[in-house]
């Protein structure tokens, strides 16, 4: 099975680190021209240098801008006006006592994790449907289905993102454009390492801290380890390709078996 995205342009939000950077790398390796996005131009430039340093032939373009705002979204789309594959990877997460989460914090999570995706889908979907082909992928989370007590605000925002996906898939029905979510399980990123150490002893070596975190806070994982970002990116690449032409409106799990369900 060969994934070939030659001749396509992909925009990956939040791609200066973590899952987003892994997605950008895998899509570029499949032949796509990939727009790397982050809030700060210098951070985007650093990410592109890192990605090209690992594989010099990658076709990458800088698309800095804060997609949680209209102005920032315009900046991004001016750098990449025609998008064939949109991956909404930008997201924030963190733990907080449920009764102490402020209204402003709830709004920040929804602006970042939900409305940024809505804003970009609204901007790029018409062009995809007019061309008769396109892919929209929203990076969701196991927390959308199994709301963690320590981050209800995060889980709820990711649940909303699943609904956004299903709704826009209906909007794109019959056009050749597919819209899907990827449900990522607990994933090994720099931000997650910090999150793990918020919940376990900071004096523990990383491997021990990871094991304790999984046992105490994510015991339902069948992998019993954190997922690597590249493992999420591989599923995104498949769903971005012509091979996934009959999959739309779906929430596809790359969760290490964390969600205790027999349906995808």
Residue 38: both structure tokens together: 């982050």
Average of pLDDT values for 60-65?
98
Looking at residue 131, what is its pLDDT?
Answer: 98
Confidence (pLDDT) at 64 = 98
Could you please report the per-residue DSSP string of 161-188?
A: HHHHHHHHHHHTTTTTEEEEEEEE-SB-
Nearest to 20 by CA among 63, 56, 55, 53: 63
Residues contacting residue 24 through CB under 8 Å, at least 6 positions apart? 10, 12, 15, 34, 36, 47, 51, 60
Q: Answer yes or no: is pLDDT of 155 > 90.
A: yes
The answer to whether the pTM exceeds 0.85 is yes
Which pLDDT belongs to residue 263? 85
Catalytic residue of the set 109, 154, 197, 238? 154
**pLDDT level of residue 192 (50, 70, 90 thresholds):** confident
Please state the rounded mean pLDDT for residues 236-250. 98
Give the pLDDT confidence of 161-181 residue by residue, as tens digits. Answer: 999 999 999 999 999 999 999
Residue 49 reports pLDDT greater than 90 = yes
Mean pLDDT of 65-69: 98
For the chain, helix (H) and strand (E) counts, in that order, are: 9, 7
Residues 176, 174: Cα–Cα separation, whole Å: 6
Cβ atoms of 142 and 258 closer than 8 Å:
yes
Q: What is the pLDDT of residues 119-151, one digit of tens each?
A: 999 999 999 999 999 999 999 999 999 999 999
Q: Give all domains of the chain, ordered by start, each with its CATH number.
A: 9-187+229-253 (3.40.50.720), 194-226 (no CATH)
- The CA-atom distances, in angstroms, between 174 and each of 45, 123, 134 are 38, 19, 12
Lookup result for tokens 């900071």? 202
State yes or no: is 154 an active-site residue. yes
């Amino acid at each position: 099975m060969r994934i070939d995205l030659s001749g396509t342009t992909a925009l990956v939000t939040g791609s200066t680190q973590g899952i987003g950077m892994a997605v950008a790398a895998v899509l570029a390796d499949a032949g796509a021209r990939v727009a790397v996005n982050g809030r700060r131009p210098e951070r985007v430039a650093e990410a592109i240098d890192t990605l090209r340093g690992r594989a010099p032939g990658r076709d990458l373009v800088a698309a800095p801008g804060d997609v949680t705002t209209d102005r920032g979204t315009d900046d991004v789309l001016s750098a990449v006006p025609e998008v064939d594959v949109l991956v909404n990877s930008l997201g924030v997460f963190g733990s907080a006592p449920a009764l102490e989460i402020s209204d402003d914090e709830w709004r920040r999570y929804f602006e970042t994790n939900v409305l940024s995706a809505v804003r970009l889908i609204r901007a790029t979907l018409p062009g995809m449907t007019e061309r008769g082909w396109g892919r929209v992928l929203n990076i969701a989370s196991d927390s959308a289905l199994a709301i963690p007590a320590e981050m209800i605000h995060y889980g709820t925002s990711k649940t909303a993102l699943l609904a956004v996906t299903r709704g826009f898939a209906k909007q794109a029905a019959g056009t050749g454009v597919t819209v899907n979510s990827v449900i990522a399980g607990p994933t090994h990123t720099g931000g997650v390492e910090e999150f793990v150490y918020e919940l376990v002893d900071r004096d523990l070596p990383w491997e021990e801290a990871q094991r304790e975190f999984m046992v105490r806070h994510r015991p339902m994982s069948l992998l019993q380890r954190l997922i690597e970002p590249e493992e999420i990116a591989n599923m995104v690449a498949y769903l971005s390709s012509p091979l996934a032409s009959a999959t739309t409106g779906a929430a596809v799990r790359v969760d290490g078996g964390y969600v205790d369900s027999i349906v995808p």
